[in-house]
A and B are shown apart, each in its own frame.
Chain A
Amino acid sequence: MTTLEAPAATQTLTFSKAINQALRDAMAHDDNVLMFGEDVGVLGGVFRVTDGLTKEFGEERCFDTPLAESGIVGFAIGLCYTGFRPVVEMQFDAFAYPAFEQIASHVAKMHNRTNGSVSLPMVIRVPYAGGIGGVEHHCDSSEGYYAHTPGLKVYTPATPEDAYWMLRAAIDDPDPVVFMEPKVAYWNKADVDTSAPGQPVGEAAVRRPGKDVTLITYGPSLAISLKAAAAAAEEGWDVEVIDLRSIVPLDDRTVMESVRHTGRCIVVSEAQEFAGVAGELAARITEQCFHSLAAPVLRVSGLPLPYPAPMLEHTYLPGVDRILDAIERLQWDDEPDLTHHGVQS
């Protein structure tokens, strides 16, 4: 016979359960926190991330809306005027596009437009990116659109502990946060201490220390980067892996410290490379670490194509081989070889 015990502070949680727990704890902590979207109620969301919240908090706190993303985000803006802290779920990355007008024109700009008088403490949860064999319009890497829009914070956790604590932080944040959840990570498990805050948002994490090359990555590409680092170690390269955790704000300090230390850097992301977050990182690193660099900053990314049908996604996604190739191209000898960068010598 067991007696009722307070839940252990450290629990083994999947990434999706960690988000569920964060929502649960935030809703218990503050009555103003509301969770809504498509199928988030009785069904618990298509990924079951909101499982049980309606049962526990009632239909007033976690509810299904009509099927209209623009409506969902616009409605959340209205609730903010009356002091609520809405958390909304966009069912999949590409289905947030109907709401893009609300997000870009209103969510991102409201505080600025109203001279700081209106705050929108809302969280827009977006399951994103591929690697799960989803059909078209279910695998987009849309972080670049949001990161390019001033006024939005863009978080992208990669581990269950970050999923928990970064969502708690996002809900507490007075500014709007686009919370990008890598779908491929939903089933990853780890210990999460829900009693002590994890690493603060805005700081990047060094997931693997190394001295030869820095791999900078985030969200869906962390796992593959760690795999590549392990494979590179067998060939004698000591690779450091940095997980950005949040794209906006961006932690320049950790990134630059690492690059100054290793002198070589590759940015790994699943989004296509052109005009994206990876290019932004490469530019910043070049500006800030020019004299420490032994080679140009390289990008390993998704291909410049619409996300393909599931049977072709393994060709599309950056894999270990493409990362290892990039490491080889980092000019380890004295002869610079720029042919891979579109520059013919």
Chain B
Amino acid sequence: MQTTTQDVAVEAFLPSPRPVQLIDPTGAEVTQEGTRRPYAMPTADRLQDVWRHMVLGRRFDLQATALTKQGRLAVYPSSRGQEACQVGVMRSLTTRDWVFPTYRESMALVTRGIDPVEVLTLLRGSAHCGYDPMKHRTAAQCTPLATQLVHAAGTADGLRRRGEDSVALGFIGDGATSEGDFHEALNFAAVFDAPAIFFVQNNKYAISVPLSKQTKAPSLAYKAVGYGMACEQVDGNDPAAVLAVMDAALRHCRGGSGPFLIEAHTYRMDAHTNADDASRYRSGDEVTAWLDRDPIARLEAYLRARGLLNDDQANAVRQEAEALATDLRDRMNVDPQVDPMSLFDNVFSQSTPQVEQARAMVRAELDADQEEGR
């Protein structure tokens, strides 16, 4: 008689055969067929709320891109086009849940309520992290790929051990799923039944390398199955579907059934960062085709058709977005105050003689500069 390692049928872990979709690109409601779980349309106020945050998020993103062109940000990885993921995920979580973001999640962090200027500190170049991770339950944005997922797995396990009813969610891109740390994180989370959600934004490219050169798997969601983890794939440009799948994942994790992986199929509308030349590896036609799947327009069409959004409400949100952009521009146009002496403050919690010698040297240099009026 054959038994599997764990006495659980593989079927329990498989994702839906096609990405879950609740609203199609024209804004029409989609009937659910063949999905692994029932996914219900989120309530009207949640959809209105997500629409508002997507409009704000996109305006923030465009402003950040503009700040790069003005030399105010060293670099900016845009998430324009990925609003349904960035906003949908954050509006599903509570403030008790932990988030482990990458460099691309600026919009998600702004949606979380972190001051946009603090969010952009890393990319502005005045410090490695501009906000307090403990206060916001939001780790510093992570640049080395996939390393944050192992942290998310550990935090999730800690939450479980403490009996907290919260989850740790880690964002990751399609390319970074090839990193060893991705696999170790999944395995750890699964083995320890940790309430972790791994949210893969499959935006089709890792800088210039397309998904087809990254993996032969039929879906990145399937990677969870091998670790004994439940998973789902979702249309990452459908905000309603992202909310519904996030709800399912949260129920799963909070109910003590271990981690959950979500693959969101989306597209990166802009280049990887302003330093990248996307015309070298993808066609304009491909980008244009994705314009038709815009998450904001899609939800807007759905809401308007049902009388859940009118011109006045839409204009009010757009004005709010303009105000956010103006405020951000004004505050980012002030040169940040960076104190060289702050360099020495947090290398160790208890400083070392070497650090203190270096501190004294720089202090003396600065004092000498000041005396000479430099």
**Known contacts A66-B178, A310-B125, A312-B343; A41/B143 CB under 8 A:** no
Report B291 CB to chain A, min CB distance, Å. Answer: 23
Most B-side CB within 10 Å, residue of A41, A94, A310:
A310
Residue of A at shortest CB range from B174? A67
In A94-119, the 8 Å CB interface with B consists of: 94-95, 97-98
- Besides A304-B355, A310-B74, 5 more A-B contacts (Cβ < 8 Å) are A66-B209, A98-B144, A136-B143, A309-B122, A312-B343
Report B109 CB to chain A, min CB distance, Å. Answer: 16
Contact between B125 and A315 (Cβ–Cβ < 8 Å)? no
- Residue-by-residue, is B109-143 near A (CB-CB < 8 Å gives 1, otherwise 0)? 00000000000001111111000000000000001
Chain A contacts for B215, CB-based, 8 A: 66
Contact between A315 and B208 (Cβ–Cβ < 8 Å)? no
Q: Is B362 an interface residue, CB under 8 A from the partner?
A: yes
Chain A contacts for B207, CB-based, 8 A: 38-39, 43, 46
Contact between A137 and B143 (Cβ–Cβ < 8 Å)? yes
Report B355 CB to chain A, min CB distance, Å. Answer: 5
Contact between A305 and B344 (Cβ–Cβ < 8 Å)? yes
Q: Is A64 an interface residue, CB under 8 A from the partner?
A: yes
Contact between B280 and A67 (Cβ–Cβ < 8 Å)? no
Q: Is A220 an interface residue, CB under 8 A from the partner?
A: no
Q: Is B256 an interface residue, CB under 8 A from the partner?
A: no
Question: Which 5 pairs across A and B sit closest by C-beta, in order of nearness?
Answer: A310-B125, A43-B208, A66-B178, A315-B340, A67-B175
A315 to B343, CA, bound (A): 9
Q: Is A210 an interface residue, CB under 8 A from the partner?
A: no
A306 to B127, CA, bound (A): 12
A303 to B218, CA, bound (A): 48
A198 to B114, CA, bound (A): 55
Q: Is B323 an interface residue, CB under 8 A from the partner?
A: no
A residues with a Cβ closer than 8 A to B are 38-39, 41-44, 46, 64, 66-71, 94-95, 97-98, 133-138, 274, 303-306, 308-312, 315-316, 321-322, 342
Report B178 CB to chain A, min CB distance, Å. Answer: 4
B residues with a Cβ closer than 8 A to A are 74-75, 103, 122-128, 143-145, 175-176, 178-181, 206-209, 213-215, 275-277, 280-281, 336, 338, 340, 342-344, 347, 352-355, 357-358, 362, 365
**Known contacts A46-B275, A66-B213, A315-B343; A304/B362 CB under 8 A:** no
Contact between A304 and B347 (Cβ–Cβ < 8 Å)? yes
Chain B contacts for A71, CB-based, 8 A: 178, 180
Contact between B281 and A67 (Cβ–Cβ < 8 Å)? no
A342 to B357, CA, bound (A): 9
A311 to B335, CA, bound (A): 11
Contact between A135 and B75 (Cβ–Cβ < 8 Å)? yes
Contact between B206 and A305 (Cβ–Cβ < 8 Å)? no
Most B-side CB within 10 Å, residue of A46, A66, A322, A342:
A66
Chain B contacts for A67, CB-based, 8 A: 145, 175-176, 178-179, 206, 209, 214
